[in-house]
Amino acid sequence: MRITELLDPRSISLTGAPASKKEALDQMVELMVKSGKIRDKEAYRQQVYAREEESTTGVGDGIAIPHGKGDSVIRPGLAAMVVKNGVDFDSLDGEPVHLIFLIAAPNTKDNVHLDVLSKLSTLLMDEDFVKNLENASTVEEFLQIVDKADEEKPSLNEQLASQTLEDTSEKACRIVAVTSCPTGIAHTYMAAEGLEKAAKKKNCRIKVETRGSGGAKNVLTEKEIEEADCVIIAADANVPMERFDGKHLIECPVSDGISKADQLIDRAMKQDAPVYHSDSPKTEKKTGSAGGAGHKVYTQLMNGVSHMLPFVVGGGILIALAFLIDGLSVDMNSLSQEARANFGTITPVAAQFR
């Protein structure tokens, strides 16, 4: 799937002039509705605003990528607006926004569109690409610029697969990172791209695991984590942390991976971060912790019981056999009270089992 397959010409405006962030979002929703991909405009608008309340989608450098996901969306789509004079969007860098891409994502199991949206997010980290879009004179030219960049840039999976920590230089700093945001559509991959570009400028080796709507990709291996000099977690969503026990670890919002990637890489190179210690059961087992004295006594008692169980069961079976043999060989009604007390040992064969 190509990016332009999601970008309807009717949903592109090159002459946007919103006076505020709210007006910009409302105009973007109207553009998206023109594509015919929204079944409930007001529900979709609420989803866009709800995402904005979590954190601003004004990622800096004049770009904003608001998005809404839910049953209000019929099929995935994009809308775009160029704002020549800029608009205040509460961006991470405080600068006005000049280019807005709105994403519409449905609640479906088919996540093919997620890779396409993720690729667009990484393309927007390219200053030349953004400048060309802002200067496009027609919608057709705008689409051609997007399609050309889409053609030239590797797919998301290829980009991630190309990351490696292997290096012939022993002095090369090795960094592993994880990026994740609540919706996992745009910021996750922009942060990954930002960290990768910053690491490349510093001659560092980096591998970034992304945890988005399409699941975890480029998952870090135990060996890669073990050999890394530092770990960067740029995330606003839950990330499995136990595997990083004992490593220098930097934790920050996913937005820092976009706007503060250079500073994060500098900190990682200096190992300017505390050593992470996990509280998981796996870590406790690794350090040999077995609880208090009461827990140890209980453990030993249960261990003894488990060893005694075979003898208890075996003894019970032997007694049962002795009763069975006497029951088949002796008339209980003919026995005296004293003889009945010795039931199970009356016949010689039964006595052998007791």
Catalytic option among 67, 98, 113, 248: 67
Other Cβ atoms within 10 Å of 104 Cβ, number: 29
- Amino acid (1-letter code) at residue 124: L
Separation CA 54–CA 101 (nearest Å): 18
**277 included as an active-site residue:** no
Pull the structure tokens for residue 150: 């889409």
Contact 325, 353 (CB under 8 A): yes
Other Cβ atoms within 10 Å of 308 Cβ, number: 10
Name residue 208's beta-bridge partners.
177
Catalytic option among 98, 113, 181, 230: 181
Phi and psi for 278 in degrees, rounded to 5? Answer: -85, 145
**181 included as an active-site residue:** yes
Other Cβ atoms within 10 Å of 249 Cβ, number: 20
Pull the structure tokens for residue 211: 């945890």
By annotation, the residues acting in catalysis are 67, 181
